[in-house]
Every structure is written in structure tokens, then in C-alpha cells.
Amino acid sequence: MRTRQVETLGESNSGWLIDLIADSASPDRFNLLYWDGQKLVAGESIIWTAEDGSEQRVYRARKVDPSIGQTICLPKNVAPYDSVGDLLNALSSTIKRFCGIEDAEASLLGYAVLASWLIDFTQVPVSLALIGSASPERRQLLRLLHCLLRRALVVGEASLAGICSLPMEISPTLLVERCEPTTPFLRFLEATNSLDSHVIVNGRILNTCCGKVLFSEQSWSGTVPGWPLLEIFLPEFPSALPVLTLTERQRLAAEFQPKLEMFRLKNFALARDSAIDFPDIPAPARELARCLGACVAHDKKLQGQLGELLKKQFLSVQSLSEREVHLAVIEALVVLSKNEKRASAGVAEITLRVNRILENNGELLVLTPRAIGSVLRTLGFSTQRLGAAGRGITLLNSIKQRIYDLAIRHGILPNPLDVTELLGPQGGGQKQPPVQPNQVPSPPSTELEEIGSARWVETAEDRRFIDELKKDLEL
């Protein structure tokens, strides 16, 4: 019988899996873990023998730069868990406790954690964008996810060249703190968003698929065409969150990582062969939904729970056609952007304008600020707190330009358009007459421009409607 010596960072076959685990004695070294569905073996080497006895392989962990073992958290062993549902609930509860987010968002992050442990067995990797202003609480969420996600690596910024310098067989999950939509960064996102992603480096073909969590103040929706992304908008965090100390982080990693490794061993084949689908979820989010669903491929109840969470996440506006609502929101933004003295636009006022546009089109449904906020995020506009006015968007020149680009693309404004209409006269040039939106009927622009100004006189009906909007915003 022939014997081969094999150095590896992980192997899988139809019925067995070899994974890296940490060496308890030295953080610079790895041990191996073998699982075939029944037998579990751990040690410095794993001996595998073919069923027909024709070949024997001796697997040992491949040596890598010591900084990898010191930076990336690996479990030292495995531990049993009661059920996937219990494990998911424990993850969600821990996330909510230390991060103060709502139940739905905490549950989605729990599913994302599970999916990160099966990242090399799903067609697309889990990709998250956590949107919120930089704060100690957001930093705490990053530290918590570093304890829970599989092989999490915190990086200040990410690039394709940097990722290719890593041994990609370890399948890291990158937590990226600084995200700017530069050309190199967008190329990095495109090259790492599929199990089929490969690049050629120095004559070698590298699989660059990896999980990603972006921490950003702006929405990334639509930035990379076809990129399956789950965006979670972080709230204004409460002031009394428990502090996630280094000791607590080590405790959480020691508690969850062995259970999550056991989850991976038990479910890798189910995830690889999963045919679960969510036909109600729009593309490209549908691919990500399949990725998250694959981690609970054995549990119909958890699949149903996930489906409902994803519907609320991606289908917040269901009663009207998506295009009609988007057109109304874009038109409202165009009108608001024409006022050169206006520095921001509140979600409540945008909602008021959108509902008037829809009413003029014969629609009876009144949308809430929460629904309009979801549409704004889908269009790529991140809301922020504007003080007493509630949440809204700042009307910087770059934001106005994006509004005009969307209006032209959707036929609301003619093309070409003199950008001085939105951005104001440049270089002392003559300001052009305003171009009126021509796609979706709306109230006269003069009426809309005066709403909220000193010349606008509120009616009792307007006051009641605005009060209802403010309640929705929880002002």
C-alpha cells in the first residue's frame, strides 16, 4: 500500500472533513480534526486509508506565518450543543445583549454567524454591511463578531492584493473597518463574492472566496451589481450596554467556537447539497438567502423563520410596485434638492411628499417613514439623525448629483441635464431655468418647495399627518 505525506490547511470529501484547530500548547501551531459522520479524531496528524486499501495518507497541518495563528481565532476542540435552534437563540441573545439591536436584526446576525462556519460549502459567502456612525458601540459589535464568526480577521482596509497574499485555504471572514467605494476596493468585492471566484497570481490559480462584514456609515446597496449583500442599519445605541471586556471576549470564544465547529462538522454535507430556495426574495438577495438557509437545511421551522425575517428585510414595501414607489421617492428628492439653501431633508418630510405624489397618481395607500427609510437605503442613501427633525439625509453636492443621476436613469428628468440646477451656479455661470420632473405627476413644485418654509401655512390636516409621521419615527 502506497503512503503519501500531505500538508494541508483543510480537506473535504463527500463523506469526511479535515479541519484546522488551535494547538493548546502553542498559538503558532495548528492541529487537525477529522470527522466522517461517526468518528472524530484530533491530533498533530491524521491517518486516512482508502476503503479498498490501495492508499494511505498522513495529513499534517501546513506551516503558515505565525501571525495568522496569533490573529485568527480557532477553536481548540469541539463541544456538543443541544440543537441548532438552541445554538441560534444563544447567538442571537448574546448579540442583542452586547449590541442593543432589535430582535429581528440580532436573529439575522445569528444566521450569518452560522453561515460563516459553512462558507466553503455554499455558492456565495455571507456578506454583511453594518451601517451606522462610528462609535464605541459599533466597535464593540466588531469585537463581538470577531469572537463568533469563523476565522474572523479584523482589517483596517481590504484589497485584492492583500487577500491574495494570505493562504486562502483558511477561508477567513474579513471584518473591514474602513470602506470607501474606490475602484480597487470594488474589484476586491467582485473577486471575493462567489465560491467560483478565482484570480491568477504568479502562475497560480487562487480561490478568493471569503466572507465579509463591512462597517460603514453609508449604504452599499447597489454599489457592486449583482453582489448578494445583507445590510443591517444600526440604531442609536442605548447608553447602558454591558462592556465587552477582553476576559468576556475570551470566555465567549471558548464557549461558542467549539460548538460552532461541531455544528460545521455535522452540517457541512447538508449545506453542500442544500437546494433550499426563497422565491419571494428578489435577486441578487436570493443567493444570499440560499446561503443563510443552507445552514438550517435540516430544519423546516428555522427555514420558515428565516424566510419571514428576509421578507421583512428585503420586501418592506409590498402593497405598491417597487418601481412606482422608487420613482415617487426620487421625484420627492429632486424637488427637495432644488432648494440651494436646504442642507438636509428629513424622512418625515420626504414621506409627506411621496404620499402626495402617490395620491395624485390615484393610490390610496399611505406609506410610513419606516417604509420610506427602507426605500432610501435601497436607493443608496443612508439616513442619519438630524437633531429635532428626526432622521434624514444631508444634501451634499455629491448626494444631489446622485439624486440627479437616478432621476435621469429612471426618466424623471431629461438627459442631458445641466447639473448647475441642483449644485448651483459653478464659476459664476448663469443658472439655468429649472427642469420639471416629467415622469410621475406631482403637485406643483412651487407648492412643494414652500412646505416647511416660513411662507408655508399648515392646515389642521397637515398637522395631524405630520404628528402621525413623527410617532412612526419615534421622535
Phi, then psi, of 348 in degrees rounded to 5: -65, -45
Between 294 and 159, name the one with better pLDDT: 294
User: Euclidean distance between the first and final Cα of the chain, in Å?
Assistant: 75
For residue 369, whether the previous peptide bond is cis, meaning omega lies within 30 degrees of 0, is no
Q: Which of 11-20, 65-74, 142-151 is modeled with the greatest confidence?
A: 142-151
pLDDT tens by residue, 29-56? 899 999 998 999 999 999 999 888 888 9
pTM of the full structure? 0.69
Q: Cell numbers of 342, please?
A: 436646504
Instruction: Provide CB contacts within 8 A for 31, sequence distance 6+.
Output: 20, 21, 22, 23, 42, 43, 44, 61
pLDDT tens by residue, 385-395? 887 667 889 89
pLDDT tens by residue, 279-304? 888 776 888 999 999 999 989 999 99
DSSP state of 195: T
pLDDT tens by residue, 90-132? 999 999 999 888 898 999 999 999 999 999 999 899 999 888 8
Alpha helices in 119-171 (DSSP H): 136-148, 160-164
Question: Which architecture characterizes domain 84-314 according to CATH?
Answer: 3-Layer(aba) Sandwich (3.40)
Distance CA 150, CA 171 (A): 9
CA angle 330, 332, 337 (to 5 degrees): 90
Cα dihedral across residues 294, 172, 281, 91: positive or negative: positive
Distance CA 111, CA 434 (A): 49
Mean per-residue pLDDT over the chain, rounded: 82
For the stretch 428-437, what's the b/e string if a residue is b when 16 or more beta carbons lie within 10 angstroms of its beta carbon?
A: eeeeeeebeb
Give the model's confidence band at 470: pLDDT under 50 very low, under 70 low, under 90 confident, else very high: low
Q: Is the model's pLDDT at 418 over the cut of 70?
A: no
Give the model's confidence band at 452: pLDDT under 50 very low, under 70 low, under 90 confident, else very high: very low
Q: Is the model's pLDDT at 146 over the cut of 70?
A: yes
User: Lowest-pLDDT range, 276-285, 331-340, 462-471?
Assistant: 462-471
Between 136 and 148, name the one with better pLDDT: 148
User: Nearest-CA neighbor of 107 among 125, 95, 98?
Assistant: 95
Q: Would you put residue 201 in left (φ > 0), alpha (ψ -120 to 50) or beta?
A: beta
Q: Which of 171-175, 221-225, 449-453 is modeled with the greatest confidence?
A: 171-175
For 71, counting Cβ atoms within 10 Å of its Cβ (0-12 exposed, 13-18 middle, 19+ buried), the class is: middle
Distance (Å) of CA 94 to CA 43, 199, 219, 406, 433: 31, 37, 25, 40, 56
Distance CA 449, CA 387 (A): 21
Note whether 213 and 130 are within 8 A (CB): yes
Note whether 227 and 193 are within 8 A (CB): yes
The amino acid present at 468, given as its one-letter code, is E
Amino acid 19: pLDDT:
95
Distance (Å) of CA 56 to CA 1, 11, 17, 49, 59: 7, 15, 16, 4, 10
Amino acid 26: pLDDT:
80
Amino acid 27: pLDDT:
73
Distance CA 383, CA 348 (A): 12
For residue 434, whether the previous peptide bond is cis, meaning omega lies within 30 degrees of 0, is no
Amino acid 237: pLDDT:
59
Give the model's confidence band at 247: pLDDT under 50 very low, under 70 low, under 90 confident, else very high: very high
Listed by start position, the domains of the chain span 2-64, 84-314, 322-473
By DSSP bridging, strand 152-155 and strand 173-176 are: parallel
Distance CA 473, CA 276 (A): 36
Q: What is the mean pLDDT of residues 174-202?
A: 86
User: Lowest-pLDDT range, 219-228, 273-282, 337-346, 397-406?
Assistant: 219-228
Q: Which of 14-23, 129-138, 413-422, 444-453 is modeled with the greatest confidence?
A: 14-23
**Would you mind telling me the total number of residues written for the chain in this entry?**
475
